[in-house]
Amino acid sequence: MSFLDQKFQYLTPYVPGEQAIQEEVIKLNTNENPYEPPKAVVEAAKAASETLNRYSDPDCQEVVIPLAEHLGVAPENVIVGNGSDEILSFLFQGFMEKGAQFPDITYGFYPVYSDLFQLKASTIPLKDDLTIDLEDYAGEETVIFANPNAPTGLGISPTVICDFAKANPNRLIIIDEAYGDFGDVSAVPYLKDHPNLLVVGTFSKSRQLAGGRLGYAVGSPEVIADLNKLRFSYNPYNVNSMTLACGAASLASQDYVEACTNKIIETREWMKSELRKLDFEVTDSQTNFLFLQHPRVTGEKIFTYLKEKNIFIRWFNQSRIVNYVRISIGTQAEMEKCLAVIKQIEGVES
Ligand SMILES: *Cc1c(COP(=O)(O)O)cnc(C)c1O
């Protein structure tokens, strides 16, 4: 007997990549950072655990102030949340009454939130080369897309986004920059000239804090104040005090974070060229994952073969990209093992 309200009976929840239980698994399926958090983060978490009897700071100043500085904006331009997924949920809940427009192939949570909040959502097909063309986004709906996009890995130039924002001053344009630190397409430097642009970011991918759950949005003080209206109507303690301490320590460890990002980019470029030697078509990813297909082997076969060898990657059983797989970039050693197993797949080496 289900007691769930009728209006939610039809929900299809988001399906996260599997979290590995066995030690020996090489986990390349959820775009986590393969490197551990900086030592300062571990120490900050321990220290913060000693005051868990107190509520966390609802203004999250410990993170908001250094994060604003890191982004080159003022604290009133920044809000933090329990992962960027929570920020995205506020955006879908409160800023899309005229409907939502997003690409047909993008982050899988957008259609889930559209359903949850019962929005009118239109999906706009990517071009044949899997890129986003903002010319296709006419209308009055709120626009949201990931840049670089997932799972394609491809980014569009922030100047194109700025032109679009300027031509559509009455629409909120939301750019999900979960992978922004691995590429060079961030719109953050242009926010001050475009009050209808909002950038969403996360500490999960480039800052080693996926399990800490810390995300943010940066934009005009008005949009941030409206987001805070929703946040304080829902859960003013949405970011716990250990996570706030970890976020502050991460921002104070910028050299370590950037060194890890650079290693990931180097490994990504190496893996991409090795895969291309094996006839894989690999997009020019600006993220911490690769998106690829092979002319002779299906995506499902690659996914299943690697899984049997305890290497977890992602395969989306979705039209247009059913032959592709997405492989997160792990350490160089993990990717060398992954490549060796890929070479064993029948049909890869002709
Ligand atoms: C991973 C990811 C997120 C979610 O990040 P969290 O901060 O961990 O909730 C949001 N958007 C995109 C495009 C992502 O890939």
Residues 108 and 133: beta-carbon distance below 8 Å? no
Q: Which amino acids bring their CB within 6 angstroms of ligand 1?
A: 31, 83-85, 107, 146, 150, 176, 178, 202, 204, 210, 215
- In Å, what is the CA distance from 214 to each residue of 63, 195, 208, 247? 10, 24, 11, 7
Q: What is the DSSP letter of 26?
A: E
Task: State which ligand 1 atom lies nearest to the alpha carbon of 106.
Answer: 13
229 φ, ψ to 5°? -60, -45
Q: How far is CA 300 from the centre of its chain?
A: 23
Tell how far the Cα of 80 is from the centroid of ligand 1, in angstroms.
13
- How many A from CA of 346 to the centre of ligand 1? 34
Q: Compute the distance from residue 95 Cα to the ligand 1 centre, in Å.
A: 19
| Residue 176, C-beta contacts closer than 8 angstroms, at least 6 positions apart | 84, 88, 107, 144, 145, 146, 147, 200
Q: In what order do the strands lie in the sheet with 325-328?
A: 281-282, 289-293, 325-328
How many CB atoms are closer than 10 A to CB 293?
17
Looking at the DSSP bridge assignments, the partners of residue 216 are 80, 201
* Separation in Å, CA 252 to CA 68, 107, 243: 13, 29, 14
Cα separations in angstroms, 201 against 234, 263, 292, 336: 21, 21, 25, 30
Ligand 1, atom 11: closest residue by C-alpha: 178
Tell me how many degrees the CA angle 176-79-113 measures, rounded to the nearest 5.
45
| Termini Cα distance of the chain | 55
State pTM to two decimals. Answer: 0.96
Residue whose CA is at the smallest distance from ligand 1 atom 2: 178
Distance CA 233, CA 301 (A): 47
List of residues 6+ apart from 179 with CB closer than 8 A: 31, 146, 148, 150, 153, 205, 206, 286, 287, 288
Helices 83-94, 221-232: inter-axial angle, 10-degree rounding: 100
Going from the Cα of 85 to the center of ligand 1, the distance in angstroms, rounded, reads 6
Per-residue pLDDT of the chain (350 residues; tens, 9 = 90+): 999 999 899 898 988 877 877 778 999 999 999 999 999 999 999 999 999 999 999 999 999 999 999 999 999 999 999 999 999 999 999 999 999 999 999 999 999 999 999 999 999 999 999 999 999 999 999 999 999 999 999 999 999 999 999 999 999 999 999 999 999 999 999 999 999 999 999 999 999 999 999 999 999 999 999 999 999 999 999 999 999 999 999 999 999 999 999 999 999 999 999 999 999 999 999 999 999 999 999 999 999 999 999 999 999 999 999 999 999 999 999 999 999 999 999 999 87
